[in-house]
């Protein structure tokens, strides 16, 4: 039989969320538990998918099924579309399986036309009722024109404002029935003016167009953006809910409201919400009138309020979570229009989860699963004052690359940031893009704003590591770094001008918005303890300084998965020594320059070992190409020439020789150590000496240094560098008289390394997947430049999310999975981790758990996110690696069998229904004998159906 695309509310339930969407599934569930829900139907998400597959058209089969359910809805409610005696008016609402509040479209009061309006008024002479009818009519015309036909609502708002001004009133509710009747005529005239055709009067045409509009809204810009931000696949589609209207704007004994069973801002257990009398749902959220607190509803509608309080308790008990509900009171009677698990702040989410455990409503695992990991970010960084932020208007928007709030005076260079900060000035560093040498300026600034770069650009990665607010990739900015100014939204900002940036949303504001310090509630510790109890993956951090390392330990990190040694070279006298090494002509000169750096590196490593308190530390050897360390300023070049005893021309020639057309794939990583093994020797001495010194100070610790060789693509190059490391390390350990152990491993960040992981594992004692580079090399585009064109890829649905922010499980993920399997086939005890920025992304963490990695590593402030995401992954997927593949195959087979059985059940239901209708039709005009025969036949058929259902249920089990 053909697929079923439409379900009455009475046919669904909460478990059918994927098919009916969240709203449809919950309307069905509320109907099932006996709550007062206007009875309608849901058009499935599969119908939406089919709409797009058919070239944005609703095919005849689906439309026929919709109209058949319209007839059923008419019978259930005793009203008919377009009927002049008892007309049916409906709402048409979206409803995706994941909550997307405000992202898609709704149409209310559908079914009205001039004839229906006149008939309704004729049947009720009350002047207030006449006003209600015309109010509903003008609302419908405006909403249909805006949402369905895409005529801007501004045209209609101008007409309303003109009418209110003409009548000398302030609010819509003060307009009379005659005023609203005139407005409705003006609206229809505006519709014809804009579209060149009359407003559709046929309710069936209105309905078909409205359903198309809701399907179409799944692909509108705000919905697309919301999905990208919240990891919601485009392929899911939205359902459409069609249900009879109930009218909060009927009279003063009617109203509409929105409520939460607990405070969504704090989590406090009390009923929160707002209510408006004589209004429809849009009035509550539009802010045209000031709603009353939900508690005042008790005085206005005592019976409906008492029932509503009981409904709230029933729903929270049923769903075991805080509920967000929409409802309407029509003539004193309560109707429930929606319920869903309510959106909440991170602080509220923690409190609600803990309270529900304490109340015996849920267990620890359920509490861990109900927290959105990404929201924890907001607990750990300064935030803008809520009232001040509400009043502010953004002047621009970039990517929210590192959360938090920052405000200060604009500066354009790292040096200026340091100098201004030294004078106790708060600054925001604004750069075209940042580079490693900006590190001190970034540390001095309150926040960083860049014109270029994405979520894994240098600015983003370093800012997250520091816990600094960062907005990157604001292409709207016209930058003039040379003259220290930029233009945004028509205003020119100069050095010293105040701005504010929001690293969570990417918004940029003119002037200073006050900030408040982040507060971590006591519930944070409880939730994190539960997360640690259930997770399998360990969580490390990416940290380059003792300060970052200490912060990560404070936030629950159990080691360092990545220390980037190159960042240590940019401080003062260190950069001079490193440049001296680069400009050396002989091996002896290079070794002498590196000897100056060795004690500095050793001191850095000792500080990191101390901060990590015995937890493992992975130190990556020098990775960036050498050109990043040479000066670009003429004065700095002259100074270097003087120091080196060379001419400026000599230094410029050296700098020019370091130029590469594609430096990210050039002379960097292990290739530097192959060319200049003395660099690896120096770094090995610093690592091992530091470990020996700290171990001596802390005999109870068991330090096992982990040395990571970057950018390996060939096992022989790894062996070459490893041999250098082992020779130096073994000599130092032997001389110390200890038996310290150490590991030498590599980053898997080149596709060839993943493909030959079985060979590389012969030399490597651990793999750490550098997913930033692995992503750019697998896709073949630069992570710093991809932002220029990825927007077009999102718009055209080629990519659904930024592959640098969320790991590409199909391509990059396949390489990770392959390398893990090949590596462990060679070396069963191979330790596997990930140190790219994906280590702090919840969906990526889930994937790494399922693949069977041992740990993820991320920036310090994302450690709690990774801990929680790892716990959720372990609870949802207790089996990992090859065993998980087998489990998935079994699950797929079970699902296929279940679908086959369900199809048989649906076929039997349809056959029974059709036979029943035929028998009833025959019986209606038949003799008494034939009627008796039909009754007996129907009972026999029903008995056969029940027997068949038992068989199907057994088969399903």
Catalytic residues, which ones? Answer: 458, 835
- Burial code (b: 16+ CB inside 10 Å, e: under 16) for 216-245 equals bbbbeeebbebbbeebbebebbbbbbbbbb
**Residue 78: DSSP 8-state:** T
Report the C-alpha gap between 278 and 264 in whole angstroms.
Answer: 26
The torsion defined by the Cα of 404, 408, 413 and 419, in degrees rounded to 10, comes to -120
Angle at 19 between CA 16 and CA 23, to 5 degrees: 70
Q: Do 694 and 703 form a contact (C-beta atoms < 8 A)?
A: yes
The DSSP output letter for 148 is I
Residue 75 tokens read as 């019978």
Contacts of 296-302 with C-beta under 8 Å, sequence gap 24+, read: 297/255, 297/257, 300/255, 300/275, 301/253, 301/255, 301/329, 301/332
Residue length of the chain: 957
| Nearest Cα residue to 61 out of 53, 222, 598 | 53
Helix-then-strand count for the chain, H and E: 37, 31
In whole angstroms, give the CA distance from residue 334 to residue 34: 13
Please name the residue that has the structure tokens 């960036």: 624
Cα–Cα distance, 262 to 265 (Å, whole number) = 9
Phi and psi of 226, rounded to 5°?
A: -60, -40
CA distances from 282 to 66, 181, 278, 327 (A): 26, 20, 12, 12
Measured from the Cβ of residue 599, the count of other Cβ atoms closer than 10 Å reads 12
Q: What is the sign of the dihedral through the CA atoms of 282, 285, 291 and 293?
A: positive
Sign of dihedral through CA atoms 822, 827, 830, 835?
negative
The C-alpha atoms of residue 137 and residue 180 are separated, in whole angstroms, by: 9
> What's 566's DSSP letter?
G
d(CA 741, CA 396) in angstroms, rounded, equals 53
Q: What one-character-per-residue DSSP string does 839-899 give?
A: GG-HHHHHHHHHHT-SEEEE-GGGHHHHHHHHHHHHHH----HHHHHHHHHHHHHHHHHHH
Residue 439 contacts residue 462 (beta carbons within 8 Å): yes
Give the count of beta carbons closer than 10 Å to the beta carbon of residue 908: 17
Q: Which residue has the tokens 């690293």?
A: 503
Task: Please report the DSSP string for 330-376 in residue order.
Answer: ETTEEEEEEEEEPP--HHHHHHHHHHHHHTTSS-HHHHHHTS-GGGG
Q: Is 837 left (phi over 0), alpha (psi -120 to 50) or beta?
A: alpha
Instruction: Answer for the pair 21, 98: CB distance below 8 angstroms, yes or no.
Output: no
Contact 580, 648 (CB under 8 A): no
Angle at 211 between CA 210 and CA 215, to 5 degrees: 115
**493 and 499 in contact (C-beta within 8 Å)?**
yes
Query: Cβ distance 228 to 103 under 8 Å?
Result: no
- The whole-angstrom separation of Cα 855 and Cα 864 is 14
Residue 326 has φ and ψ, to the nearest 5°, of -115, 140
Structure tokens at 802: 């930024």
Q: For the stretch 516-530, what's the b/e string if a residue is b when 16 or more beta carbons lie within 10 angstroms of its beta carbon?
A: eebebbebbebbbeb
């Amino acid at each position: 039989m053909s697929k079923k695309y439409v379900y009455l509310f009475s046919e669904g339930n909460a478990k059918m969320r994927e098919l009916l969407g969240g709203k449809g599934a919950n309307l069905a569930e509320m109907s099932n538990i006996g709550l007062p829900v206007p009875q309608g139907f849901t058009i499935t998400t599969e119908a939406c998918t089919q709409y797009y597959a058919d070239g944005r058209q609703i095919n005849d089969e689906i439309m026929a099924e919709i109209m058949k359910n319209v007839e059923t809805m008419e019978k259930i409610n005793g009203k008919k579309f377009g009927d002049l005696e008892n007309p049916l008016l409906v709402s048409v609402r979206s409803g995706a399986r994941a909550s997307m509040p405000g992202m898609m479209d709704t149409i209310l009061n559908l079914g009205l036309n001039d004839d229906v309006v006149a008939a309704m008024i004729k049947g009720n002479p009350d002047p207030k009722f006449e006003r209600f009818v015309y109010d509903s009519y003008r609302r419908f015309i405006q909403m249909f024109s805006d949402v369905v036909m895409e005529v801007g609502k501004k045209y209609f708002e101008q007409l309303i404002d003109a009418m209110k001004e003409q009548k000398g009133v302030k609010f819509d509710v003060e307009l009379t029935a005659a005023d609203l009747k005139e407005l409705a005529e003006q609206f229809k005239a505006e519709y014809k003016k804009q579209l060149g055709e009359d407003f559709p009067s046929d309710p069936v045409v209105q309905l078909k167009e409205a359903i198309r509009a809701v399907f179409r809204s799944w692909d509108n810009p705000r919905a697309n953006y919301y999905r990208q931000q919240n990891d919601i696949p485009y392929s899911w589609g939205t359902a459409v809910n069609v249900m009879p209207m109930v009218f909060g704007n009927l009279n003063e004994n009617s109203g509409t409201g929105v409520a939460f069973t607990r405070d969504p801002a704090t989590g406090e257990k009390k009923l929160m919400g707002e209510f408006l009398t004589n209004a429809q749902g849009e009035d509550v959220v539009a802010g045209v009138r000031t709603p009353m607190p939900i508690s005042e509803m008790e005085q206005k509608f005592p019976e409906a309020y008492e029932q509503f309080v009981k409904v709230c308790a029933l729903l929270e008990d049923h769903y075991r979570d805080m509920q967000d509900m929409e409802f309407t009171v029509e003539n004193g009677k309560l109707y429930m229009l929606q319920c869903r698990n309510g959106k909440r702040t991170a602080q509220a989410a923690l409190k609600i989860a803990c309270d529900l455990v304490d109340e015996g409503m849920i267990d620890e695992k359920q509490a861990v699963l109900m927290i959105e990991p990404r929201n924890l970010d907001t607990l750990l960084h300064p935030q803008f004052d809520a009232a001040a932020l509400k009043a502010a208007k953004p002047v621009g928007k970039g990517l929210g690359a590192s959360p938090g709030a920052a405000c200060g005076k604009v500066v354009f260079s790292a040096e200026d940031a340091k100098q201004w900060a030294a004078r106790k000035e708060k600054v925001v560093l604004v750069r075209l893009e940042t580079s490693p040498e900006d590190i001190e300026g970034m540390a001095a600034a309150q926040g960083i704003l860049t014109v270029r770069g994405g979520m894994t650009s240098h600015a983003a990665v370093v800012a997250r590591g520091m816990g600094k607010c960062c907005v990157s990739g604001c292409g709207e900015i016209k930058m003039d770094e040379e003259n220290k100014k930029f233009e945004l939204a028509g205003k020119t900002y100069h050095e010293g001008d105040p701005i504010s940036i929001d690293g969570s949303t990417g918004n940029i504001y003119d002037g200073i918005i006050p900030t408040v310090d982040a507060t971590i509630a006591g519930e944070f510790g409880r939730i994190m303890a539960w997360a640690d109890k259930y997770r399998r993956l360990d969580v490390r951090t990416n940290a380059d300084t003792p300060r970052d390392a200490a912060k990560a330990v404070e936030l629950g990190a159990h080691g360092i998965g990545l220390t980037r040694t190159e960042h240590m070279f940019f401080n003062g006298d260190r950069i001079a020594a490193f440049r001296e090494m680069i400009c050396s002509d002989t091996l002896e000169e290079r070794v002498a320059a590196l000897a100056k750096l060795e004690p500095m590196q050793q001191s850095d490593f000792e500080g990191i070992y101390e901060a990590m308190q015995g937890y493992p530390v992975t130190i990556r050897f020098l990775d960036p190409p050498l050109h990043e360390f040479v000066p670009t300023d003429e004065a700095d070049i002259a100074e270097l020439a003087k120091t080196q005893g060379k001419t400026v021309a000599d230094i410029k020639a050296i700098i020019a020789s370091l130029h590469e057309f594609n430096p990210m794939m050039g002379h960097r990583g292990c290739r530097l150590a192959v060319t200049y093994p003395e660099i690896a020797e120096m770094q090995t001495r610093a690592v091992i000496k530091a470990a020996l010194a700290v171990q001596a100070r802390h005999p109870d610790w068991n330090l096992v240094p982990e040395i990571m060789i970057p950018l390996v693509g060939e096992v022989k190059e790894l062996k070459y560098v490893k041999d250098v490391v082992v020779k130096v390390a073994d000599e130092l350990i032997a001389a110390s008289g200890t038996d310290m152990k150490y590991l030498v491993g590599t980053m898997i960040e080149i596709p060839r390394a993943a493909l030959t992981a079985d060979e590389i594992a012969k030399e490597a004692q651990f793999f750490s997947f550098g997913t930033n580079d692995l992503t750019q090399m697998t896709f073949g585009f630069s992570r710093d430049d991809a932002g220029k064109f990825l927007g077009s890829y999102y718009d055209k649905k080629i990519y659904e999310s930024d592959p640098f922010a969320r790991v590409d499980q199909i391509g990059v993920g396949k390489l990770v999975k392959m390398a893990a399997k090949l590596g462990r086939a060679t070396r069963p005890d191979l330790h596997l981790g990930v140190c790219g920025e994906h280590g702090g992304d919840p969906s990526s963490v889930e994937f790494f758990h399922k693949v069977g990695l041992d740990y993820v590593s991320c920036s310090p402030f994302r450690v709690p996110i990774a801990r929680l995401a790892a716990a959720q992954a372990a609870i949802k997927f207790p089996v990992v690696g090859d065993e998980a593949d087998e489990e998935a195959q079994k699950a797929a087979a079970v699902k296929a069998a279940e679908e086959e059985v369900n199809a048989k059940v649906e076929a039997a239901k349809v056959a029974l229904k059709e036979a029943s209708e035929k028998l009833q039709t025959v019986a209606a005009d038949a003799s008494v004998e034939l009627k008796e025969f039909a009754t007996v036949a129907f009972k026999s058929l029903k008995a056969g159906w029940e027997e068949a259902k038992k068989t199907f249920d057994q088969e399903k089990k």
